[in-house]
């Protein structure tokens, strides 16, 4: 194995392309039951998750974190983002360089990697995977990472250039994500929309798909010739486990009970209400605050009511975010302070815009002509101040949080109609614009997540703000990291001051770990890392 470090081509870009570390109030994700004992090879791990993956195509659209937990085991990425430092490190690429204006990225690839079907990993594999994402368009969750994409050029078998027509300083970070994981030529030969069941998904990861039974389980088998995990993962060979089963168990209490009774080796999606239960039982937790977008209310600017900034500002003043956090979550979760969560690189505190002040909320609505009716709900020109809010049912506390927000806003004369659904239905409503407010978050360890959510080209919130657009595109062109951070801070201030999104709380990923289980970690995006390091005590 060649061991060259990740490189940057120009001094002005060096710190931008190897991201600065970011603080996190939660422990970094190594299993707390780890000991100095040597890992044991063999054994089968059963990890209970809340949701069916929906799609095992790594760049497809699945059910959120649970999907990525599974697909991360099948595919590797060009680069690895270290969760302790946030720096980009070698993985399938030994190194990368960038030109001075961040429009050309050259990756030097390992020459000893193969896909699980035995075919070699080469520069052509990278080109074909990236071109496939572009061709998929809206069918892919990853296409937004390719803003300004021109082409991928195969220089030789072990060298590939990714070229953009406009600067894209966030691209190296994006290559560390599951959605840009590299797949084989045989996978790409299958139409994009037919890869969901995973039968055709061939990657270079430490596990391969054994069986997938919708709404029941996904079973993965160890790949015995795997030998190219990132150096900082502390395992340069095959995974220790023989197999991993991701068991779909929607009820959080059933997952918790199954862990306590040794039915499961680990569980994902531990709910805040179950934290104390597991701690009382002496069951260790792995938890990490998620970077990316905070959970919050994003307004549809095409909505006649939600497009009124006075209404949006009043709603912000009418929400007691700390009460929401304390009621539906616990102190492992941070109260929202910006569109970005605190441990995202380039986070900037915007909490002054979101202070709880119901009297001020009432004054704003009074001044805007919204008059309180007999039932306490305001109206203007015969129209009730009623807003339809859509949300995804894949995170248990969502309903508790939203019902409390619904009660809080009723006190200022705003009616919220809550509509929860599974991911595909939610996305369909977003795309169609069939909502006034959308509730949700998005985990990503880079401030460019603001562009993917609020840029005119990609937003489902119908935002058309030239000043914000200039900032979102400007951060992509900023080679100097300090300049990029400053631009992203301005973008957060713009989003906050225009109340395009109201942050309420951040997400924290929590896993429960059974006795005798070791080496399960959460990555820089606070999602489950490759289980190449996981192992169980011998039985």
pLDDT given at position 29: 57
Residues 524 and 447 in one domain: no
Strands 437-443 and 386-392: parallel
Residues 282 and 343 in one domain: no
Length reported for the chain:
539
Domain for residue 433, yes or no? yes
pLDDT given at position 35: 56
pLDDT given at position 26: 34
Q: In the structure, what pLDDT confidence band is assigned to residue 63 with cuts at 50, 70 and 90?
A: confident
User: Which residues constitute the domain of residue 177?
Assistant: 44-288+510-536
DSSP state of 522: B
Q: Answer whether 8's CB lies under 8 Å from 87's CB.
A: no
Q: In the structure, what pLDDT confidence band is assigned to residue 419 with cuts at 50, 70 and 90?
A: very high
Domain for residue 164, yes or no? yes
Residue 163 has pLDDT above 80, yes or no: yes
- Taking each helix axis from N to C terminus, what angle separates 481-497 and 466-477, rounded to the nearest 10 degrees? 160
Residues 85 and 211 in one domain: yes
Domain for residue 269, yes or no? yes
How many structural domains are present in the chain? 2
DSSP state of 428: H
Predicted confidence (pLDDT) per residue in 48-58, tens digit: 999 999 999 99
Q: How far apart are CA 108 and CA 121, in angstroms?
A: 12
pLDDT given at position 475: 94
Tell which residue, 209, 171, 193, 28, has the closest CA to residue 88.
171
Mean predicted lDDT score pLDDT of the chain: 92
DSSP state of 190: S
Q: How far apart are CA 208 and CA 200, in angstroms?
A: 11
Domain for residue 366, yes or no? yes
pLDDT given at position 448: 94
Predicted confidence (pLDDT) per residue in 430-476, tens digit: 999 999 999 999 989 999 999 989 999 888 999 999 999 999 999 99
Question: Number of C-alpha atoms within 13 angstroms, CB side, residue 200?
Answer: 14
Q: In this structure, how many other beta carbons lie within 10 angstroms of the beta carbon of residue 296?
A: 24
Residues 356 and 490 in one domain: yes
Residues 310 and 212 in one domain: no
Residue 486 has pLDDT above 90, yes or no: yes
Residues 332 and 276 in one domain: no
- Taking each helix axis from N to C terminus, what angle separates 397-410 and 321-328, rounded to the nearest 10 degrees? 140
pLDDT given at position 30: 55
Question: Number of C-alpha atoms within 13 angstroms, CB side, residue 180?
Answer: 24
Domain for residue 5, yes or no? no
What CATH code is carried by the domain that includes residue 431?
A: 3.10.105.10
Rounded to 5°, the CA angle 156-157-159 comes to 60
Residues 84 and 182 in one domain: yes
Where are the strands (E) in 199-349, listed by range? 207-213, 217-222, 243-248, 266-267, 285-289, 292-299
- Average pLDDT over every residue of 127-149: 95
pTM of the model: 0.85
Domain for residue 395, yes or no? yes
Q: Give me the percent of the chain exceeding a pLDDT of 70.
A: 93
DSSP state of 374: T
- Average pLDDT over every residue of 184-206: 97
pLDDT given at position 21: 28
45 versus 101: the higher-pLDDT residue is: 45
Domain for residue 367, yes or no? yes
Residues 247 and 385 in one domain: no
Q: In the structure, what pLDDT confidence band is assigned to residue 539 with cuts at 50, 70 and 90?
A: confident
Q: In this structure, how many other beta carbons lie within 10 angstroms of the beta carbon of residue 355?
A: 11
What CATH code is carried by the domain that includes residue 179?
A: 3.40.190.10
Residue 317 CB contacts under 8 Å (≥ 6 apart), including other chains:
355, 356, 357, 358, 360, 361, 364, 412
Q: In the structure, what pLDDT confidence band is assigned to residue 261 with cuts at 50, 70 and 90?
A: very high
Q: What DSSP letter does each residue of 44-67 carry, written as one string? A: EEEEEESS--S--STTS--SSHHH
Q: Answer whether 98's CB lies under 8 Å from 105's CB.
A: yes
Residues 308 and 420 in one domain: yes
Residues 198 and 143 in one domain: yes
Q: Answer whether 34's CB lies under 8 Å from 234's CB.
A: no
Q: How far apart are CA 284 and CA 289, in angstroms?
A: 17
Domain for residue 411, yes or no? yes
Residues 276 and 326 in one domain: no
Task: State the SS3 of 200-214.
Answer: CCCECCCEEEEEEEC
Residues 311 and 208 in one domain: no
Give Cα 418 distance to the centre of its chain.
24
- Average pLDDT over every residue of 18-28: 33
């Amino acid at each position: 194995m060649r061991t060259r470090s990740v490189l940057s081509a120009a001094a002005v870009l060096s710190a931008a392309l190897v991201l600065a570390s970011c603080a996190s109030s939660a422990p970094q994700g190594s299993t707390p039951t780890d000991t100095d004992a040597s890992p044991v090879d063999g054994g089968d791990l059963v990890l209970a998750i809340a949701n069916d993956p929906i799609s095992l195509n790594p760049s497809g659209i699945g059910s959120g974190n649970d999907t990525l937990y599974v697909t991360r085991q099948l595919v590797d990425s060009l680069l690895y983002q270290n969760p302790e430092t946030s720096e980009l490190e070698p993985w399938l690429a030994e190194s990368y360089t960038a030109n001075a204006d961040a429009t050309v990225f050259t990756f030097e690839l390992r020459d000893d990697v193969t896909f699980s079907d035995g075919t070699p990993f080469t520069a052509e594999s990278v080109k074909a995977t990236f071109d496939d994402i572009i061709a998929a368009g809206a069918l892919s969750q990853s296409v937004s990472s390719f803003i300004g994409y021109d082409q991928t050029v195969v220089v030789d078998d072990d060298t590939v250039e990714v070229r953009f027509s406009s600067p894209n300083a966030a691209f190296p970070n994006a290559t560390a994500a599951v959605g840009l994981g590299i797949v084989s030529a045989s996978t790409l030969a299958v139409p994009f929309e037919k890869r969901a069941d995973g039968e055709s998904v061939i990657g270079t990861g430490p596990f391969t798909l054994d069986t997938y039974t919708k709404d029941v389980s996904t079973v993965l088998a160890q790949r015995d010739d795997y030998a190219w995990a990132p150096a900082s993962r502390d395992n340069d060979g095959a995974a220790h486990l023989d197999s991993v089963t991701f068991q779909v168990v929607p009820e959080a209490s059933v997952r918790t009970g199954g862990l306590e009774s040794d039915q499961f080796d680990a569980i994902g999606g531990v709910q805040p209400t179950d934290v104390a239960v597991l701690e009382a039982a002496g069951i260790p937790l792995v938890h990490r605050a998620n970077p990316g977008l905070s959970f919050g209310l994003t307004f549809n600017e095409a909505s006649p009511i939600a497009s009124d900034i006075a209404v949006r500002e009043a709603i912000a003043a009418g929400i007691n975010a700390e009460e929401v956090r304390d009621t539906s979550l616990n102190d492992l979760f941070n109260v929202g302070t910006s569109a970005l969560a605190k441990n995202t690189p380039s986070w900037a505190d915007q909490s002054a815009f979101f202070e709880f002040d119901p009297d001020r909320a009432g004054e704003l609505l009074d001044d805007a002509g919204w008059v309180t009716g007999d039932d306490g709900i305001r109206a203007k020109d015969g129209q009730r101040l009623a807003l339809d809010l859509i949300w995804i049912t894949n995170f248990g506390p969502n309903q508790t949080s939203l019902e409390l927000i619904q009660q809080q806003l009723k006190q200022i004369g705003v009616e919220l109609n809550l509509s929860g659904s599974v991911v595909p239905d939610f996305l369909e409503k977003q795309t169609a614009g069939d909502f006034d407010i959308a509730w949700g978050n998005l985990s990503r360890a880079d401030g460019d997540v603001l562009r993917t959510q609020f840029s005119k080209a990609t937003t489902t919130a119908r935002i058309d703000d030239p000043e914000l657009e200039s900032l979102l595109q400007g951060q992509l062109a900023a080679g100097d990291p300090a300049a990029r951070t400053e631009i992203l801070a301005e973008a957060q201030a713009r989003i906050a001051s225009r109340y395009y999104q109201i942050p309420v709380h951040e997400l924290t990923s929590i896993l429960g770990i059974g006795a005798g289980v070791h080496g399960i970690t959460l990555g820089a995006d606070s999602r489950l890392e490759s289980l190449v390091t996981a192992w169980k005590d011998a039985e």
